[in-house]
Amino acid sequence: MRVFSKSLLAGILSLFIGVTVADTYPSKPVTLVVPFSAGGPTDNVARALAEGMRKSLGQQIVVENSAGAGGTLGTAKVAKAANDGYSLLLMHIGFATAPSLYRKLSYDPATDFEPIGLVAEVPMTLIARSDFPAKNLSEFITYVKANSAKMNFANAGLGSASHLCGLIFQNAIKTEIQTVPFKGTADAMTALIGKQVDFLCDQTTNTTEQIKAGRVKAYAVTSPKRLSNFADLPTLAESGFPGFQVAVWHGLWAPKGTPKAVIDKLVSSLNEGLKDAAFRDRMSKLGAEIYPAERATPKALGEFSKAEIARWAPIIKAAGQYAD
């Protein structure tokens, strides 16, 4: 006797009784993979969004932290997951930089995903342990250059935003510094607060509260303009590094082949989530800028991530860092 899978049987049954996938989806909790550790900046965006989307989706969205290898492990996991709408990915700019950083990736960001929409954009901050002996950015750079052999800076692994920012920083100051990779910058932050590492460049969605509490020292921001949350912090661009701008954009994806009707439901739920008052409040406190509705679409994310892959390739190539 042939054994049919449950989903195949459900599909055949739905043909007979006129029920479409879109009518029944979601009939169980949806998993949202965050490819970094819990409590970090990407996780903070994901959990707030999951709560905002839950209301319109009518189901729980369970965040799963599948961390490692700069976000590429969790991203690969979703690329290979069932394309039934129950496995989603919340990833950031690393989605577009990983193809240039890794010689071999087990997924293709251009062909293995269905984009759902852009979520939010987050600036980064250059921060150091609280006892770092520099009063401002120029002293910080002088100190780092003079002591580079003894310095180390944390990141969330090759392909992460903190890695990218560190790469640009080292290029900007023409100094190589030892890196210490973690599974996410929540862990990197713990090490920085504990003074086990010297500095870190990370999203404001992780650093805002720590800077305000004085647990770490902040020197600069990577946005084109100063941030209202930290008006006293200079931008790197105004401090002699005009090209030094990193905006960590976040997007939502499903595996390739997820039915269009399911994607449509997710797009509308994403848009409800982005309007959710609690989501907006949390993002604004953490310095994240939520994308407008016209960018929270498959077309906008698809085109934008394609352009970002092309934009970062020559920059990363010039910096000459790869992993196998």
- Shortest distance, position 80 Cβ to ligand ASP, whole Å: 21
Residues 194-213 vs ligand ASP: string with x where CB under 6 A?
--------xx----------
Residues 133-172 vs ligand ASP: string with x where CB under 6 A?
----------------------xx---xxx----------
C-alpha–C-alpha distance, residues 10 and 31, integer Å: 20
Map tokens 């989806």 to a residue.
Answer: 25
Is the bond preceding residue 99 a cis peptide, omega within 30 degrees? no
Residues 268-297 vs ligand ASP: string with x where CB under 6 A?
------------------------------
C-alpha–C-alpha distance, residues 273 and 278, integer Å: 9
- Shortest distance, position 163 Cβ to ligand ASP, whole Å: 6
Measuring CA to CA, which residue among 313, 251, 263, 287 is closest to residue 49?
251
Please say which residue, 36 or 113, places its beta carbon nearer to ligand ASP.
36
Q: Which stretch binds ligand ASP (CB under 6 A): 35-43, 96-104, 260-268, 304-312?
A: 35-43
Cα dihedral 209, 227, 316, 172, rounded to 10, equals -100
Report if residue 40 touches ligand ASP, rule: CB under 6 A: yes
Please say which residue, 37 or 258, places its beta carbon nearer to ligand ASP.
37
Asked whether the beta carbons of 155 and 67 are under 8 A apart, the reply is: no
Would you list the DSSP string of 175-220?
---EEEE-SSHHHHHHHHHTTSSSEEEEEHHHHHHHHHTTSEEEEE
Report if residue 122 touches ligand ASP, rule: CB under 6 A: no
Please say which residue, 39 or 259, places its beta carbon nearer to ligand ASP.
39
Residues in contact with ligand ASP by CB under 6 A are: 36-37, 40-43, 94, 155-156, 160-162, 184-186, 202-203
